[in-house]
Amino acid sequence: MKRTVFIVGLGLIGGSIALAIRKEHDVHIRGFDISQQQVKMALSLQVIDEVAPSLEEGVKNADLIIFATPVMKTEELIQELAGYSLKAGAIITDVGSTKKRIVTQADCLTEKGVTFIGGHPMAGSHKSGVEAARAHLFENAFYILTPAEGTDLRQIIQLQNWLKGTKATFIELTAEQHDRLAGAISHFPHIVAASLVHQVAKMDGDEPLVSRLAAGGFRDITRIASASPAMWRDILLHNKESLLELLSSWTTEMNEVRAMIETENADDIFAYFEQAKAFRDGLPAREKGAIPSFYDLFVDVPDHPGVISDVTSILAQHEISITNIRILETREDIMGVLRLSFRSEEDRQRAQVHLQQAMYDTYMM
């Protein structure tokens, strides 16, 4: 008899995990989602084999239960599980961006004969919904596991075996470690990006030109501010302690920058940017981190009819897909700039090779 996997939340992440599991295991996958549209799509795409009529019925005989739901909802659903019949030895995990509160909440399952292991696959996409799900979404990404203290090692290994089709790199952390690190490299940068946007938005009333000027580079460096407000509301509330500490450190950092500017300390200002550049340039360029990478390629194009279709046809000839295309600048008598976005570093490199062979100047930032 096939083992059963039950996935709650049939979006991009839940769907991609289902596809990765199916690639490696002969299993029966059941799904549940509050969106009937996502449920129907998951069935039609064969992401799942069957729809569970309810959460209670879905978890009953499941060997593996995955909550691919917003963190606040996951916390509620774990509490619900305490009142349901669960299969002895089942493993339960989640995909949330915060871990401490969820792992703590899962203490209520210790008497049920099951094991909860927190999880966070650090990968995503600019697209959403189960229709964007891909088995390779997590390939080479970090997949954080946060088992509670005293969790049976065999259960941790078993969960990794369940998820081996993701081809992710598994890292084991405590829930507290995860939230502190994710806060610094993912959660806090989203706060900064949103704050920068707010600052410019406040200027817009007095200086209408600011929106036009912000359409280029500013829009690019703040694109993570376009993420789901509901998701980030929940993440900030869940990771309150880490983010308050980071906000305090940031205030100190900005006061130091302010002092350098006020005293016109040219040497310290230069060193500040030099040290930041050195650290940033030393970060791994081809590894997936907590914030999805943007695989962008910039192409100089002449002001000539048909040039955009020429670029896209070159890519099509070599079966290279683009996820987005944007004209950054095009004015009469000057070179325009196209920004092409790709799914992977490999696609971007292949595109660059073929476009350069066609005499296009390309560059990355």
Instruction: Please give the pLDDT value at position 206.
Output: 81
pLDDT digits (tens, 9 = 90+) for 288-334: 555 556 678 889 888 778 888 899 999 999 989 887 888 775 444 45
Residue 59 C-alpha from the chain's centroid: 27
Which secondary structure element, helix H or strand E, spans residue 324, and what is its range? Answer: strand 324-329
Instruction: Please give the pLDDT value at position 346.
Output: 85
Instruction: Please give the pLDDT value at position 330.
Output: 47
pLDDT digits (tens, 9 = 90+) for 118-149: 999 988 766 678 988 888 888 888 999 999 99
**pTM attached to this predicted model:** 0.77
pLDDT digits (tens, 9 = 90+) for 66-115: 999 999 999 999 999 999 999 999 999 999 999 999 999 999 998 899 99
Which secondary structure element, helix H or strand E, spans residue 266, and what is its range? Answer: helix 266-281
Q: Is 6 exposed, middle or buried (0-12, 13-18, 19+ CB in 10 A)?
A: buried
Average pLDDT over residues 180-193: 94
69 Cβ neighbours under 8 A, 6+ residues apart: 8, 9, 77, 94
pLDDT digits (tens, 9 = 90+) for 233-273: 999 999 999 999 999 999 999 999 999 999 999 999 999 99
> Interior CA angle at 235 toward 187 and 94, to 5°?
110
Domains of the chain, each with CATH number or no CATH: 3-173 (3.40.50.720), 178-281 (1.10.3660.10), 295-363 (3.30.2130.10)
**Nearest residue to 58 (alpha-carbon basis) of 38, 18, 39, 86:** 86
* Model confidence band, residue 365 (pLDDT cutoffs 50, 70, 90): low
pLDDT digits (tens, 9 = 90+) for 326-356: 877 544 445 678 889 887 778 889 999 999 9
Residue recorded with tokens 């302690």: 241
Q: Are 94 and 67 in contact (CB under 8 A)?
A: yes
pLDDT digits (tens, 9 = 90+) for 16-68: 999 999 999 999 999 999 999 999 999 999 999 999 999 999 999 999 999 99
